[in-house]
Amino acid sequence: MSTIENADIHRITIDDQEYVLVGTAHISQDSVDTVKAVIQDENPDTVCVELDEQRYQALRNPRQWESLNLVQIIKKGQAPFLLANLALSSFQKRMGLQTGVKPGAELAAAAEAAEELGKDLQLVDREIRTTLLRAWRKAGFWKKMTLFSTLLASMFDSQKIDEEELAKLRQTDTLSAMLDEMSDVLPTVKTILVDERDTYMANLIRQAPGDKVVAIVGAAHMPGILKKLGQTFTAEEINELSIIPEKTALSKLLPWLIPAIVVGLFIAGFMTGNTQQMADAAVAWILANGVLSALGALIALGHPLTILAAFIAAPITSLNPTIGAGFVTGMVQAYVAPPKVSDMERVSEDIAKLSGWWRNRLTRVLLVFFLSSLGSAIGTMVAFGWLKDLF
């Protein structure tokens, strides 16, 4: 029996297997110290941590950014995911700067302690990409916009937290705390980002080998995991939690709808033989898309060639949903102003400050991708309104 007992530690015995669950805050030195002491004192057969493989490797190798192939990420369409991931990391990083502890330090400490003692280490969290995509695909349009705006706001939030708020953060998971605030507005998203992960982690913790298992999880997940640890889940139930839902028929059709209408309007203008009307419509389409996409690239401090590429590409890509303006501008920016090794080394520190997103060449490519895409999307809607008036 451990000599360490506090409100963040829970013991459960199921079928002669003992589980010691430790609830932590991801930016608390107290959590780091508790994790190390519990693992040393309990001497478990297995240590489970709230990590997936990607986050585990990021904690083990903070310099992994140096090997990041940004061009391939853009080509594979993973830039939005990387941007969202960095936005969440930015939120936790800023909170961590105010407590003096790196986000996830207690999880890294748990992994190191397990390795030092020769214990079996189990990564029990669901892949973060799966979690984010499930949340995105299952949310309706307005909920998507709310989720998107929340992620965007987290990049620009420079709020300082007082001692009372710091005390609360030490008792919870900073990401889950942010999501809890959104639970009334986005209950579906909270279910996927918190509740589903509780089920996923409880199932893997229950399956961990050995007579004694220590599990290190965010405090916000503790109530759900404690509730579900004694439950039995079928393989189908667990597999469903890892399935990324297909896009809805409407979401597949919508990107083609406006281009189809625009092309139809141009065809109608051609059939009527009004060349001046056709010329006005073409100018309106090019200017609205090109100027606003270029403006987005300019706001992101893109290279002059990137800004030019945005102006040229946006009117064309807006008629072809298979390729976006951000794809073109992101690729151009990555080629003409590629991230340096120093940018890769500093990315985790730079995202903690608003200016760092523009100063770092890696995150600037992502800003170019995002803001030029946003400009093109707004430009398409503006141009569509003009075309309706012209025809």
Query: Mind giving me the DSSP string for 66-99?
Result: GG--HHHHHHTT-HHHHHHHHHHHHHHHHHHHHH
Nearest Cα residue to 220 out of 174, 166, 181, 172: 172
Say what the pLDDT of residue 102 is.
67
For the chain, give the percent of residues with pLDDT over 90.
36
Instruction: Tell me which of 29 and 377 has the higher pLDDT.
Output: 377
Which pLDDT score, from 0 to 100, does residue 159 have?
A: 53
Q: From residue 278, how far is each of 94, 283, 381 by CA, in Å?
A: 52, 9, 18
Q: What mean pLDDT is reported for the chain? A: 80
What confidence score (pLDDT) does residue 58 get? Answer: 77
| pLDDT-derived band at 192, boundaries 50, 70, 90 | confident
Lowest mean pLDDT of 85-94, 124-133, 264-273, name the range.
Answer: 85-94
pLDDT band at 277 (very low <50, low <70, confident <90, very high): confident
Lowest mean pLDDT among 128-132, 155-159, 371-375: 155-159
- The answer, yes or no, to whether residue 166 has pLDDT greater than 80, is no
- The domain limits of the chain are 9-240, 249-390
Query: What CA–CA distance (Å, rounded) separates 343 from 277?
Result: 49
Higher pLDDT, 373 or 63: 373
Which of 83-97, 193-207, 215-229, 337-351 is the least confident region?
A: 83-97
Q: Using alpha carbons, select from 311, 305, 307, 267 the residue that is nearest to residue 285.
A: 311
- On the question of pLDDT at 325 being above 50, the answer is yes
pLDDT band at 4 (very low <50, low <70, confident <90, very high): very low
Query: Could you give the CA distance from residue 82 to residue 84 in angstroms, rounded to a whole number?
Result: 5
In this predicted model, which residue has the larger pLDDT, 104 or 116?
116
**Mean pLDDT confidence for 16-38:** 85
> Span 234-247, mean pLDDT?
89
For residue 250, what are the CA distances in angstroms to 247, 254, 271?
8, 6, 30
Supply angle C-alpha 13, 15, 21, rounded to 5: 30
Where are any strands of DSSP class E within the chain? 9-14, 17-24, 46-49, 120-123, 212-218
pLDDT band at 26 (very low <50, low <70, confident <90, very high): low
